[in-house]
Chain A
Amino acid sequence: MNAAATNRPSSRLIYVVAPLCAAMAIWGMIAPDDLASTAADITGTIFASLDWFFMGSVTAFLGLTLWLGLGRYGRLRLGGPDERPEFSTASWLSMLFSAGMGVGILFWGVAEPMTHYVAPPIGSGETALAARRAMVLTNLHWGLHAWSVYCIGALVLGYFAFRRGGRWLAGAPLRLVFRGRWVGPVANLADGIAVVAIAFGVAGSLVMGVMQLQTGLNLAVGWSADSASVGFAILVVLTIAYMLSAATSLDKGIQLLSNANVALALLLLVFVLFAGPTGFLLRSAATALGDYLTALPGLSLSLYPYQDTGGWLEAWTLTYFIWWIAWAPFVGIFIARISRGRTIREFVLGVTLTPTLLSILWFAVFGGTGLHAEMTDHPGFASVVAEDITLALFTLYDTLPGSLVLTGVSLVLIFVFLVTSADSATFVLGMLSSAGSLDPPRRQKLGWGVGLALMAAGLLLSRSIDAVRAVVVLGAIPFTFILILQLVALLRVLPGDLAQEVDRVASGPPDDDPPAPPAQPTDTVDAEVTA
């Protein structure tokens, strides 16, 4: 068999993916309910049958991430042995936090703990115990698991790209490591699924953000919360902003925006912390951290086989986990791109632990303020949240001083988070459609920018967020299998690379080596494995 033939990514990828995107978008526009229910039936069946598999996979990602970071492979670098990080650590952390969570954390900060407090999967709602468990469940969904999924996605791509000259495609690690007739089609499939997942994921996220902005503007300045024209106006402004950002190139544009935004978010966090019941919030943060660490091993694999939770696990935990997987190709490429020159240890600790700690604090402050309001002097808050999640954050602000300013700041945050997400997305999609180039032509980026805006406009027109979500999840389920294959590919090459690194250090001073080799031809890295 000719190895080169199997290793070439299909150039016809775009001709399969683009019509598929268009078909899904049109189906979603014409019959959003139909699309949503079909997709929900499929994902529902798969979740119900294979919940153990998805839960186990994500937990395994977490275990392997920590093992990679803390174990002997931690010294290997994403890049040549002498490369050093491109971005400062603080800037790097804020960029990855804003790319990975961004809008979601504003959206769910108040709402999610409140929802689990009212309707926990087991036990009765609206008790002190339910409040405590609500924090643990929220952290389970937004904590280490989420970031370890991103971490694996980013690590695999970054490692192969920076050390072995792999293309920036989801199928690249498979092509580099495995041999066999199955590799070509599976790798092409991986590339395709990644593009679909990114395009739909980002378009859906844009629409969700536009809706939240609309709710916020309705509360702040009284613009209609339902009118499509207000929604379109917001989308147009948003599009102009991220296109401008994309045109000024990744480094300047995103870095500036991310840093500013994370600083603003931290400011908001600090303000709510001190304007709210400060002691209560800090106690709840400490308790949440302790409870989370204690409950983590059990909850990580908890599938409630003996209780009837009415599909709670599928609706919440598995949906979150599959979302993180859906976003992994996008966020993964982005995180990898900004992490060149870091060791695996730095990378793993930076990508998993820091954001997790920050999100625990975030949920403790925002969720805690909400719970405090509901449990003490503002009953009725929980039922407002149950009816309209987009109201949660803004309703909470009503209980704090300066609510109008807080609302304004949050709207700015949401806006900028959306701009940075969309900006990165145009970059990543441009890269994928220019055969994995790390510096995609501006024309490609702007083309994808317009494409994303049009898809978002279509979804906004249908006003059904369900349709796009269902498709995102549908794309992410097969991607789980691909992520596992990628991880196996990584694990196969690590021992050899470590041995090489040890030899190199033993054989002489580093300045003898050529700087940052974009790696050898990879055909000989691994021998044929017949599956």
Chain B
Amino acid sequence: MKHFVITLLTIAVPLLAACDRPDAPVRVGAKAFSEQQILAHAQVAILASRGIDAEIVECADTWACRDALARGTIDAMVEYTGTALRFVGAPRCEGDAIDCLNGLDTEDGWTWHTRLGFENTYRLFVRDDAGAPSDLSALATSGPMRIACPREFLRRPGDGLAALERRYGLTIDGEPRVIDDPTERYRALLEGRVDVVVGYSTDGAIDGLPLVLVEDDLGFFPRYDAAFVLRDAVTETHPDLVALGDTLADWIDEPLMRRLNYEADVEGRDPAEVARAALVEAGVLDDDDGATSGVPVRVAVDADDSLGSLSTEVLRIVRAGFIGRPATVVEVDDAMATVSDNDARIALVGAERFFVGHDRDERLEAAVVVGERYVVAITRDGVPTRTGSIGMPPAGSGARSIVAATTGLADATVEGDPASLVEAVADGRIETAYVVVSLDDTDVRMAVTEAEVQVVAPPIATSASLAVLLPARVPAGTFDGQPAAIETRAVQVVLAAVSAERASREATGGPATAMHAGGVPLRREQVNAMAAASTVAEAPHPALPSAWTPPPTAAESPVFTLARALDTALNAFAFFFLFATARLLFARRSGSATGTDG
């Protein structure tokens, strides 16, 4: 609470003090999703290029942003016409929405300006199966459905979920799942955890996915044209700001916005950088100031390791170590080999991967801890069985070896990812599932909530065969259906890379190895920067090889070895050669007396 108050004061005090002075920075509002961040960065970049100081002020959602505009803590933002109309009670509006809004809102102290050229409306999607409903009326007749949507959609006045249900007569099965991350939301649909998702028409994640758009055949949603909103007080002190809107009128259409969102959400690029690149492309900004190199840092992750939920967090951490570079996660068969082969710079792996599974490159080492995964048992009755039908992670995955080492169990009846195993328990196909989960993995938590199963401690084998298991406790109530705190084992999730120390010992530098498939080590400063950015403030487990923790002292080498003998022999040979050469050079020539041919 105290922290909150201090934050409020630090934001509010300078704002109030600086309010409306011509030299005060223009504050650009941004809601908490990529599109808004990109657009806010674009506005700041343009203002900066014209010598106007500007900064971004985050406002969590539409309510907070409207409030901030009204109170004057932000001066400019991009808002959507349909959203604004609903927030003022959806008055009947003939003609242009912007004119309507400007007609209504004058007493609030802000004015709508130019449209940007794209609309960001709500869209409903289903999987691309045979018989997928083509419009919402058809969807309503197909029975109860599980739905996932962004948080704001639950409580929007007039154009939110409740209104949509009423308008079309939809029946929602259970509670709607709230998933704000667009990539995660569509994944939930594709993996069959929900039947319908509510997304945005500019979501970058939707391109290329097997989704079907469900048409809004009754015209429930209004138009949501993106447009500039400027506070009137600030247009008086900064008349140029209106011109800013004109610069950007119609510069961005829906496919472009979708591509920019894709770059930010899926490729993990920095929104500021995405905005800048787009402005350069549009010819609004010059190419040469502050653009960064577009080659992304690749982070490899094993496709069967179920670490995908960490992606966004990991990209943030990696960017901290590679200032000026975008980052991207790639799914591969063997993450560590990919790094050894220099096809990726960093591997996102569970610590167990250093000991089990693929052949390990000795030069790969743990750099930064980015998360932890816990072994828990999923049961219907709260009593985990060691015999009978058991579910475990897929054979060959890191998670499987963790479960095997923790519980001492070898064979599984059913194999799968955690969410599918939870379902298998709920269905009665198996009695107990042993899964390895990250506590912030929303997929699993949601699956547990929905399946009404119990999460309990697994049986722990007395002799654990895996060096990286850590004793751990999952506090009671972490999962729905978790009766008590769970004493279990946890394993770190780390970023692994080629070790600088070991790499240099094998002379991976040098021109001969320039195209070498040996991997490029991280520098210590990069590791430190990433460790600072990670939310897990822990060093890698001592059992993990890591040159970034103090290396063990080398054993004393014997005085005389074969290598020493070889060394001496080679040097003796070189001496002999030089001696012989000198003799050749300075030998008296016996024929020189004649002097004719010499």
Of B293, B567, B583, most A-chain CB atoms within 10 Å: B293
* B504, B510, B513, B578: residue with the most chain A Cβ atoms closer than 10 Å: B510
How far does the alpha carbon of A111 sit from the alpha carbon of B297 in the complex, in Å?
18
CA distance A149 to B505 in the complex (A): 29
For B597, give the chain A residue with the smallest CB separation. A524
Question: Across the interface, which residues of B come within 8 angstroms of A48, CB to CB?
Answer: 567
Given known A319-B511, A387-B520, A491-B585, contact A46–B570 (CB-CB < 8 A): yes
Residues of chain B within 8 A of A481, CB atoms compared? 577
User: A488 near B584 (CB under 8 angstroms)?
Assistant: yes
Which of the residues B501, B514, B598 comes within 8 Å of A499, measured between beta carbons? B598
Cβ of B294 under 8 Å from chain A: yes
Answer whether residue B8 sits at the interface, using C-beta atoms and an 8 A cutoff. no
Residue A269 CB within 8 A of the other chain: no
A320 to B508, CA, bound (A): 15
CB contacts (< 8 Å) of A115 on chain B: these are: 509
CB distance B512 to A469 under 8 Å?
Answer: yes
Contact between chains at B295 and A395 (CB < 8 Å): yes
Is B510 a contact of A380 with CB atoms below 8 Å? no
Contacts of A473 in B (CB 8 A): 512
For residue B590, which residues in chain A have a CB less than 8 angstroms away from its CB?
Answer: 527-528
Q: Which one of A119, A178, A379, A380 has the greatest number of beta carbons of chain B within 10 Å?
A: A380
Given A380-B293, A380-B325, is A315 in contact with B523 using a C-beta cutoff of 8 Å? no
When A380-B323, A526-B598 are in contact, do A211 and B509 touch as well, CB less than 8 Å?
no
Complex CA–CA separation, A485 to B577 (angstroms): 10
Q: How far is the CA of A491 from the CA of B290 in the complex (A)?
A: 58
Closest to A226 in B: B343
Given contacts A384-B293, A481-B577, contact A311 B567 (CB under 8 A): no
A380 to B597, CA, bound (A): 65
Nearest CB on A from B7, distance (A): 30
- Residue from B287, B506, B515 within 8 A of A389 (CB atoms): B515
Minimum Cβ distance to chain B for residue A383 (Å): 6
Q: Is the CB of B523 within 8 A of A118?
A: yes
Within 478-505 of B, Cβ neighbours of A (below 8 Å) are at 501, 504-505
CB-based contact A315/B289 at 8 Å:
no
Residue of B nearest to A318 (CB): B510
Known: A383-B297, A496-B598, A528-B590. A315 touches B510 (CB 8 A): yes
Indicate if B322 sits at the interface (CB-CB under 8 A): yes
User: When A319-B510, A485-B581 are in contact, do A49 and B323 touch as well, CB less than 8 Å?
Assistant: no
What's the Cα separation between A388 and B518 when bound, in Å?
11
B571 touching A398, Cβ below 8 Å: no
Q: CB within 8 A of A378: which of B293, B342, B513?
A: B293
Determine if B589 and A526 form an interchain contact, defined as CB atoms under 8 angstroms apart: yes
Q: A320-B511, A395-B293 are in contact. Are A527 and B592 (CB under 8 A)?
A: yes
Q: Is B130 an interface residue (CB 8 A)?
A: no
Contact A381 B293 (CB under 8 A): yes
Task: Kindly state whether residue B516 has any CB partner on chain A within 8 Å.
Answer: yes
Contact of A315 among B323, B501, B512 (CB under 8 A): B512
Is residue B292 within 8 Å, beta carbon to beta carbon, of the partner chain? yes
Given known contacts A378-B291, A496-B598, A526-B591, A315 and B566 CB-to-CB distance under 8 angstroms? no
Kindly list chain B residues whose C-beta atoms are within 8 Å of the C-beta of A45. Answer: 563, 566-567, 570
Is there an interface contact between A315 and B584, defined as CB atoms closer than 8 Å? Answer: no
**Min distance, Cβ A419 to any Cβ of chain B, angstroms:** 21
Also in contact, A389 and B510, with CB within 8 A (given A49-B566, A125-B523, A398-B293): no
Name the residue in A46, A320, A469, A528 with the highest tally of chain B Cβ atoms < 10 Å from its Cβ: A469
Instruction: Name A284-312 residues within 8 Å CB distance of B.
Output: 310-312
Partner of B295, one of A50, A53, A119, A391: A391
Q: Is the CB of B509 within 8 A of A53?
A: no
CA distance A488 to B583 in the complex (A): 10
0/1 interface trace, chain A 141-171, chain B, CB 8 Å (1 if under): 1000000000000000000000000000000
Q: A125-B523, A387-B342 are in contact. Are A312 and B509 (CB under 8 A)?
A: yes
Q: A319 and B517 in contact (CB under 8 A), knowing A379-B292, A395-B293?
A: no
Residue B559, interface by CB 8 Å: no
Chain A residues, Cβ within 8 Å of B13? none
Prevailing SS type, chain B contact patch: loop
What 1/0 flags go to A475-500 for Cβ under 8 Å of B?
00000010011001001100110011
The residue that B516 contacts in the complex, of A141, A380, A465, A485, with Cβ under 8 A, is A465
Q: CA A112 – CA B577 in complex, angstroms? A: 34
Q: How far is the CB of B245 from chain A (nearest CB, A)?
A: 28
Contact B505 A311, beta carbon cutoff 8 Å: yes
Give a binary string over B27-43; 1 marks a CB under 8 Å from any A CB, 0 the rest: 00000000000000000
Chain B residues, CB < 8 A from A27: none
Say if the beta carbon of A234 comes within 8 Å of chain B.
no
Given known contacts A378-B293, A531-B580, A44 and B574 CB-to-CB distance under 8 angstroms: no
Task: Across the interface, name the chain B residue whose C-beta is closest to A178.
Answer: B584
Contact check: which of B289, B295, B584, B592 meets A384 at CB < 8 Å?
B295
A108-B511, A488-B584, A531-B580 are known contacts. Are A379 and B324 too (CB-CB below 8 A)? yes
B511 touching A208, Cβ below 8 Å: no
Contact across chains for A383 and B515 when beta carbons are under 8 A apart: no
Known: A53-B574, A384-B293, A524-B591. A208 touches B513 (CB 8 A): no
Q: Which of A111, A378, A391 meets B324, CB within 8 Å?
A: A378
Q: Which residues of A contact B292 (CB under 8 A)?
A: 378-380
B563 to chain A, nearest CB (A): 8
Report the nearest A residue to B288, measured CB to CB.
Answer: A399
CB distance from A342 to the nearest CB of B (A): 24
B343-380 with Cβ < 8 A to chain A: 345
**Interface flag for A466 (CB, 8 Å):** yes
Does B507 sit within 8 A of A, measured CB to CB?
A: yes
B597 touches A525 (CB 8 A): yes
B1 within 8 A of A: no
When distances are taken between beta carbons in the complex, the residues of chain B under 8 Å from A108 are 511
A506 interface contact, C-beta 8 A: no
Is B218 located at the chain interface by the 8 A CB criterion? no
Q: Determine the chain A residues whose CB is within 8 A of the CB of B578 once the complex forms.
A: 53
- B515 close to A390 (CB less than 8 A): yes
A residues in contact with B6, CB < 8 Å? none
Does B5 sit within 8 A of A, measured CB to CB? no
At the interface, yes or no: B17 with Cβ under 8 Å from chain A? no
In the complex, A107→B515 CA distance in Å? 11
Instruction: Take A178-B584, A526-B591 as given contacts and tell me if A520 and B290 are in contact as well, using a CB distance cutoff of 8 Å.
Output: no
The smallest C-beta distance from B115 to any residue of chain A, in angstroms, reads 33
> How far is B18's CA from A531's CA once the two chains are assembled, in angstroms?
92
A111-147: which have CB < 8 Å to B?
A: 111-112, 115, 118-119, 125, 141
User: Does residue B587 face the partner (Cβ distance < 8 Å to A)?
Assistant: yes
Any chain B CB within 8 A of the CB of A529? yes
Please provide the chain A residues from 206 to 257 with a CB less than 8 Å away from any CB of chain B in the complex: 208, 211
> Within the assembled complex, what's the spacing in Å between the Cα atoms of A490 and B592?
16
Tell me how far the C-beta of A415 lies from the nearest C-beta in chain B, rounded to whole angstroms: 18
17 residue pairs A–B, Cβ–Cβ below 8 Å: A44-B507, A45-B567, A49-B570, A311-B504, A314-B507, A319-B511, A377-B290, A379-B292, A381-B293, A387-B342, A465-B515, A465-B516, A466-B513, A470-B512, A492-B585, A527-B590, A529-B583
List 16 extra interface pairs beyond A178-B584, A315-B509, CB under 8 A.
A46-B570, A49-B571, A118-B523, A141-B511, A312-B504, A316-B510, A319-B512, A378-B324, A380-B292, A380-B322, A383-B297, A384-B325, A389-B515, A401-B287, A492-B585, A500-B598
The residues of B with any CB-CB pair to A shorter than 8 Å are 287-295, 297, 322-325, 342, 345, 501, 504-517, 520, 523, 563, 566-567, 570-571, 574, 577-578, 580-581, 583-585, 587, 589-592, 595, 597-598
Interface residues of A (CB under 8 A from B): 44-46, 48-50, 53, 107-108, 111-112, 115, 118-119, 125, 141, 178, 208, 211, 310-312, 314-316, 319-320, 323, 377-381, 383-384, 386-391, 395, 398-399, 401, 464-466, 469-470, 473, 481, 484-485, 488, 491-492, 495-496, 499-500, 520, 524-529, 531
Closest 10 CB pairs of A and B: A380-B324, A315-B510, A310-B504, A496-B598, A527-B590, A527-B591, A311-B507, A379-B324, A315-B507, A49-B570
